[in-house]
Structure 1
Amino acid sequence: MAIEVGKEVCEVNGESGEATARGERIIAVAGEALVDLVPADVPGHFVAMPGGSPTNVAVGLVRLGAPVRLLARIGAGAMGTRVRNHLRHNDISLDHTIQAQEPTSLAIVDLDENGVAQYDFRIDGTADWQWTDAELTDALDGDVVALHTGSLAMTQQPGADALLRLIERARPAATISYDPNMRPQLMIHEQARSRVETVLSLADVVKVSSEDLAWLYPGRPAQDVLADWACRGPALVVVTLGGDGALAATTENRISVHRPGLPIDVVDTVGAGDAFSTGLLAGLHRRDLLGADRRKALRAMAEADLVQLLDEAALIAALTCTRRGADPPTTAQVSDFVDRARRLA
């Protein structure tokens, strides 16, 4: 199996997590920290795995050696304890998380014959959506060079508006990364599209799936939406196409590229999109392209660099699909895969 990857793919030095990254340029990640109930090998049984799109991104970044600050409201009870233990196990500091009194959100996962995930949520009155401005007062303290958010946390009130104000406050100093990660069963179409387009005008890096675009803009080709979004402010817009790879466009250099997917044996697709966002952010961090002071350089990214960045992100997502649940790879696991692929090429 021949896989072309960049020489720099996930060659990261240094320790991970904010606790060991003081003085480094931190990526803040804001949003839900919930529990996924993922089908087990025994039919009718489930495995409780901490997740939530932003939390998955934070865990993935730490595993790739990036300094991370997680902004999350973590629920009470046994499920909340499970989430906290998961974060500690992955060397993520709880210093900027809220120990909430509300219950933990649940996502019940159903898989089709191809391992593609569908979700059924239990989120009424749960912890993730209750953000206040006061809880986010110190969210950007220190050298925060990027803020990543999206998914349910950006649409579920009352906390969504507090997170929107956090984005507005972060933008003068930080790169804004956004993944809409639509959940139609929990969203009103027009309200969700309005919120997406509002955040789009503030974002520098946007990753969106073709399924999200099909729901947001029925009947409109993904390539057309990609071109439209690239003209609305972001430096980089990426549309993931599942097994068909990804499309990407930049604004300043007017680059538009398509990269193929990787042939893999899929266990499930839980967390695949989050892993792609992880790969993008880790790659931009490694290339010193995060932070408001690097916005011009990000916009001027060359096509060869963009191709390499997309291939790195696709590899991170593909490896996540080879195991159950949102379980993104470490730097060592990525390097081992690349080494094996090169030996077999």
Structure 2
Amino acid sequence: MSPGILVAGEAIVDLLVGDDPRHPVASPGGSPANTAVALARLGTPVSFAGRFGNDRFGDLLMSHLSGNGVDLGHAVEAAEPASLAVVTLDPDGLPAYGFHVEGTADWLWADGELPGALPAEVLAVHTGSLAIARQPGAEVLARWFEDQRRHRITSLDPNIRPDLTGDRTTYLRRLERLVAASDIVKVSAEDLAWVHPGEDPVRVATRWSRELGPALVVVTLGGDGATALHPGGTVRRPAARVSVVDTVGAGDAFSGGLLHWLAGHDRLDRDALARLTTSELARALDYAAAVAGLTCARPGADPPTARQVRSALRPAATPA
């Protein structure tokens, strides 16, 4: 079965530091890679375009993706080492990241490494996070992403890491360029608070929707749920009720859940996306929230399967 969605970006190793810092646990991560795994576990055929390090960590990342059913036909085996993120959790399970990314594989895209002509079966491409922030690869990825919009749906999740984005003004120009090239944008309130400090995040997202042109903008609001902005109406839905272990990978899982729902309901088409009703948007948000919530209920970026999501949604009688 041909991949229906292609995800492009970074796959990095999270070193999860617990009570004993002498024994961190290496866990596959990276926002785009997490989204690809979420899609695969939910049952959407997905391919991942990434640059993988020439070390044991690079091997770990590739085996993790392929072992979860992600197609690696567009993977680049790079000469550089894998990127690392040291992750610590506060008492509420919120992660803090320290990155080791200088001279590593993920950011050194060269023209010709990203896939050119893709088969018609690839309905959408998705990217975001550090891959759109760190040069020189960010510019290569941006040009590729803009070109893909001529052929298929484009989806973006900025997932901003302020310590690595560089100058705010320069980053904002690049981000708005990518939002303008996107049909779907999922963005967190924290992301919007950093690029537009002091402004209400939903108002910023509304401005993006009206002025930059994506058909669907979804703002995730942590424990307060999510708001979808669409020409057909604005929909706000609550977060899933779970006992939170940590929030590592929750936003990536939400993106995967949203894209999976849209793919499964034949909405990864520009005309179909424009026809989304508020009822459909509510169901899409509830599904994505369930995927994110189940990820929060267990440690690390460990998204659920479709069966687990159906079980979680069954009491609310919400179709998957």
The structure-2 alpha-carbon separation of the partners of 1:137 and 1:328, relative to structure 1 and needing over 3 Å to count, comes to: closer
Q: Is the 8 A contact 2:129 2:157 kept in 1?
A: yes
Give deviations 1:179-209, integer Å, cap 9, x for gaps: 0111100112111111110001110000000
Mapped contact 2:10–2:50 kept (Cα < 8 A): yes
Q: Tell me by how many angstroms 1:223 deviates.
A: 2.1
Partner of 2:198: 219
* Farther-moved stretch of structure 1 (36-45 vs 121-130): 36-45
**Structure 1 segment 166-205 matched on structure 2, within 5 A:** 166-187=144-165, 188-205=167-184
| TM, length-normalised to structure 2 | 0.94
**Match of 1:36, as an amino acid?**
D
Paired AA for residue 304 in structure 2: P
Whether the 8 Å CA contact 2:109–2:140 is kept in 1: the answer is: yes
Contact 1:96–1:139 (Cα < 8 Å) also in 2: no
Letter in 2 for 1:236: L
1:323 to 282, 295, 298: 298
2:281 pairs with 1:303:
no
What's the CA shift string for 1:197-227, capped at 9, x where partnerless?
A: 0001110000000011110001001121121
TM-superposed CA distance for 1:141, in Å, is 4.0
- When residues 27 and 124 of structure 1 are mapped into structure 2, their CA distance, relative to the original with a 3 A threshold, is same
Measured in 2, the distance between the counterparts of 1:111 and 1:242 equals 16
Report what 2:216 is aligned to. 236
Deviation at 1:42, TM superposition (A): 5.2
User: Which residue, out of 74, 95, 100, partners 2:73?
Assistant: 95
Length-normalised TM-score, structure 1:
0.88
Matched, 1:111 2:86: no
Q: 1:340 to 1:48 in 2, by over 3 A?
A: farther
SS in structure 2 at match of 1:325: coil
The count of residues paired between Structure 1 and Structure 2 equals 315
Q: Is the 8 A contact 1:73 1:131 kept in 2?
A: yes
Instruction: State how far apart, in whole Å, the 1-side matches of 2:76 and 2:181 are.
Output: 26
Corresponding residue for residue 11 of structure 1: none
Post-superposition Cα deviations, 1:240-295, rounded to whole Å, max 9, x if no partner, equal 011110111103x2x112111122111111000001100110011001111xxx21
| Matches of 2:6 and 2:17, distance apart in 1 | 31
1:44 deviation in Å?
5.6
**Residues 140/105 of structure 1: CA separation in 2 closer, same or farther (3 Å cut):** same
Q: Please say if 1:312 is aligned against 2:290.
A: no
Greater RCO, 1 or 2 (C-alpha within 8 Å, sep 6+): 1
Q: Which residue of 1 aligns with 2:12?
A: 34
What does residue 250 of structure 1 align with? Answer: 230
Q: Which residue of 2 aligns with 1:206?
A: 185
What is residue 149 of structure 1 aligned with on the other side? 127
Any gaps of 5 or more consecutive residues in structure 1? 1-20
SS across alignment from 1:338: helix
Aligned position for 1:262: 240
Alpha-carbon RMSD: 1.6
Q: Displacement of 1:94 after TM fit? A: 2.0
1:26 CA drift (Å): 1.6
Which of 323, 329, 332 is the matching residue for 2:307?
332
Residues 132 and 142 in structure 2, CA contact (< 8 A), matched pair in contact too: yes
What secondary structure is seen at the aligned counterpart in 2 of 1:256? strand
Kindly indicate whether the alpha-carbon contact (under 8 Å) linking 1:129 and 1:160 is maintained by their aligned counterparts in 2: yes
Q: Distance in 2 between matches of 1:61 and 1:104?
A: 23
* Partner SS for 1:269: coil
